[in-house]
Structure 1
Amino acid sequence: MKIACGQLCSLSSLKDNSRIVIKLIKQSILSKVEVLFLPEATDYILKDAKELITLASKTQQDFLTPIQKELKLLNERNKSQLKLAIGIHEPTSLEKVRNIQIWINEAGLIEQKYAKIHLFDINIPNGPNLKELDSVEPGNSILSPFAVRNWNIGFAICYDIRFIEMTLKLRNLGANLITFPSAFTTKTGEAHWLELGRARAIDSQCYIVMAAQCGEHQNGSDKKRVSYGQSIIIDPWGEVIARGAKYSDPRSVDDQGDYYQLVTAEISHELVEQVRSNLPVFSHRRPDVY
């Protein structure tokens, strides 16, 4: 199966971000991609908590609905079956938002939803200061992997990647592909992005798909936020089989001034079975001891 990460730099405009996603959908269909994975917070990225909550109430109308309609139309017109995994925000009753990942089928319908469990709530000296708990309500459950052809897809988001217990749980529930849509900071990205992705692939013997935000998010304020980028697809042996640009790399824009990048890879169910057969670590585990 051919899959892709769509890399972009989401702004504060829902409609602009939706337009860029539609460009990635069109490019994916031309490239015969079956599943397009998009980053965390594809609908918008802001640092102002109040505006974050206000915009979440408009995500469906101004961001998602145009994408759903265009996906259905383009699939029908091109006789394609493209599906999307995409990170967005949704409002809650507690005057906060949820950071969620949804699955949209080829007909443009939402079939699955997962709310981020582990929230990035840190202040590193000379590093990132992001308090996700100020505006985000955490999820409280893991979404069981769901079937797409002979693939069982597990959903996690960004900071979830640091919690190996979640990855192992998804594998035990049957996952053979796990996706971590992300908006990593540059400091933590330089230190840990690739290492965490390869580790989770080796730990779980799954394909790991990490669609990433990339670049400086212009949000109309003096509070600058820069995302690390480098969307990657990693096979169950831990090999990086596709890679996008980092925030510090040269990145081109189209004639409308939009930055986006499609990173594609062919994934093999046979490789998953081979790795698990040759190195059957899950049958060697000792839960009676630890």
Structure 2
Amino acid sequence: MPRIAVLQMTAGIDPAENARVLTDAAARVGGEGGQMLFTPEMSGLLDRDRKRAASSIMSEEDSAVLAQVREAASKQGIWIALGSLAVDAGAGRWANRGFVIDPSGAIAARYDKIHMFDVDLASGESWRESNAYRPGERVVTIPDTPVGKLGLTVCYDIRFPALFDALGRERCDVIAIPAAFTVPTGAAHWHVLQRARAIEASAFVVAAAQVGHHQDGRRTYGHSLVVDPWGEVLLDMGGEEPGLGFCDIDLARIAEVRAQVPSLANRREIAK
């Protein structure tokens, strides 16, 4: 039964400090027998001031945060699902890119967030992710991780069932949903959406989240979760503090749930 770790962060505007948090977490996971670490969206930099952030957003090849996380994975002999980093995608655009790093430190998979968070909330918060970020176009899964077949998403993707339908068709065992959810949307929808996606895909969901008050002025909801295929919440890290949580993943539970409610097998195409 694989043991995973979930990092809940209060990432700031200094990539070096965020990298320290990530590598310290990796060291603890390795020391405590964990096999895979999951981290939140924007683990390397959380800064809504895009002019200030620009000097810290590098290409993959030049990203010190990515290099340090890869080194930590290799040193500790663990897998790391690095929720996402802001990376320079060229042509004046950035990508909100997730990575899966294997125990050799190699990048085993990349995923660019498909759905851009372009919203105006009743609280007065306004977000236009598409002004700076280039959306991804591909569904990404990676087989043969410690938690079986892993599907990758990022944050706002959770609101788009078609992506999770595709991951269900791929028979993912676990779906990662790293996030930096706002407090108003988190309080209203976070738990119900996470549980629904787990139930629909008959898969575990691992949602590492940002939490608390950040240096750029935003506040995030936290409540990093692990949800089983039946929709049961196995881990909820609360909405107050950063930290590291551990959870054992019983992969046999997936077959049990799919036998009891075979919704993936019973799926039919709907005529248009």
TM-score, scaled relative to structure 2:
0.94
Q: Say if 1:145 and 1:170 are closer, same or farther in 2 by CA, change over 3 A.
A: farther
In the TM superposition, residue 150 of structure 1 has moved relative to its aligned partner by 6.4
Question: Does 1:95 find its partner at 2:92?
Answer: yes
Structure 1 segments, 4+ long, off by >3 Å, are 58-61
Aligned ranges 1:1-290 → 2 under 5 Å: 1-57=2-58, 60-73=62-75, 75=76, 81-86=77-82, 87-149=84-146, 151-219=148-216, 224-246=217-239, 249=240, 251=241, 260-289=242-271
In the TM superposition, residue 34 of structure 1 has moved relative to its aligned partner by 0.6
- Alignment gaps of 5+ in structure 2: none
Q: Say if 1:115 and 1:149 are closer, same or farther in 2 by CA, change over 3 A.
A: same
In the TM superposition, residue 66 of structure 1 has moved relative to its aligned partner by 2.2
In the TM superposition, residue 288 of structure 1 has moved relative to its aligned partner by 4.4
Q: What amino acid sits opposite 2:87 in the alignment?
A: E
Identity, in percent, stands at 28
- Alignment gaps of 5+ in structure 1: 76-80, 252-259
Deviates more, 1:152-161 or 1:92-101: 92-101
Q: Does the 8 A contact of 2:109 with 2:142 survive in 1? A: no
CA RMSD of the aligned region, Å?
1.6
Q: Say if 1:150 and 1:18 are closer, same or farther in 2 by CA, change over 3 A.
A: closer
Deviates more, 1:114-123 or 1:62-71: 62-71
Secondary structure of the 1:57 match is coil
1:80-130 deviation line (CA, Å, top 9, x unaligned): x31101111110222121001001111111111000000101012324311
User: 1 CA distance for matches of 2:9 and 2:220?
Assistant: 10
User: 2 CA distance for matches of 1:61 and 1:173?
Assistant: 31
User: 1 CA distance for matches of 2:226 and 2:47?
Assistant: 27
User: 1 CA distance for matches of 2:220 and 2:137?
Assistant: 26
Deviates more, 1:27-36 or 1:192-201: 27-36
User: 2 CA distance for matches of 1:42 and 1:53?
Assistant: 16
